[in-house]
Amino acid sequence: MGTPATAKRKRVAKPPEERRKDILDAAAQVFARKGIADARIEEITTLAEVSKGTFYLYFKTKGEAAAALWERHMDDFAGVGEEILGNAHAPLAKRLVDVLESLCRFALDHADLHRVLYDGAGAQAVHAAANERLIGMIAAAAKEGIKTGDVTCEHPDMTARALFHGFCGAVTDAITGFAPLSHEEVVTASGHMTRAVFGLKETGSG
């Protein structure tokens, strides 16, 4: 005989970190779709397949979950740069181009979540810290390139900062619709500008 239709599905026990990830993954979907204010905890727990009580074991409020989600989001954003710039097997010029293109693409691909979480409590400090990590890594790579002759740039620290913030602004304009920029246009332009300001030879980003 088959399982009775009224039988409840047995809840699978998971390690705390995995359960926390499930809740944040569900929150990301709900927040991106409805915003934090209109999202209900029940929607998050249903999607995560946990009880409401389990949610409160990890987060006191929706706002606390949103803050944790933003921190994870920005850590993933910085991780994109760390992975690309840390790949010693790729030519340095390619790494510099890839990192700006990939960071732009990441931000654009997660535009809905970025819009919803950006104005949360403490979000600016987390955002600034991730930006500083990335600017420092880009500047360090440029300085390495100056030593090897792959980069031509008199002010690598300022150039890295201006380049990064310039495209952060362009991405924000594209996300908000303030400027009629296509996502691919922003990504492609970031690669072209990186080559120009660092004096790099033309190199593909694939």
Tell me what pLDDT residue 178 has.
83
Q: How far apart are CA 70 and CA 66, in angstroms?
A: 6
- One-letter amino acid identity for 31? F
Burial classification of residue 183, based on how many CB atoms lie within 10 Å of its CB (0-12 exposed, 13-18 middle, 19 or more buried) = middle
137 close to 82: Cβ distance less than 8 angstroms: yes
117 close to 73: Cβ distance less than 8 angstroms: yes
Tell me what pLDDT residue 70 has.
94
> Is this model's pTM higher than 0.75 or not?
yes
Residues 6+ apart with CB under 8 A from 109: none
Region of residue 149 (phi > 0: left; psi between -120 and 50: alpha; otherwise: beta): left
> pLDDT tens string for the chain (206 positions)?
444 444 444 556 788 899 999 999 999 999 999 999 999 999 999 999 999 999 999 999 999 999 999 999 999 999 999 999 999 999 999 999 999 999 999 999 999 888 888 877 678 899 999 999 999 999 999 999 999 999 999 999 999 999 999 999 999 888 888 888 888 999 999 999 999 999 997 654 44
Tell me what pLDDT residue 11 has.
58
Tell me what pLDDT residue 161 has.
97
Tell me what pLDDT residue 206 has.
43
- Tracing tokens 């009880």 back to the chain, one arrives at 51
Q: Which of 185, 126, 196 is nearest to 163 (CA)?
A: 196
Question: Using one digit for the tens of pLDDT, what is the confidence trace for 118-139?
Answer: 877 678 899 999 999 999 999 9
Tell me what pLDDT residue 10 has.
55
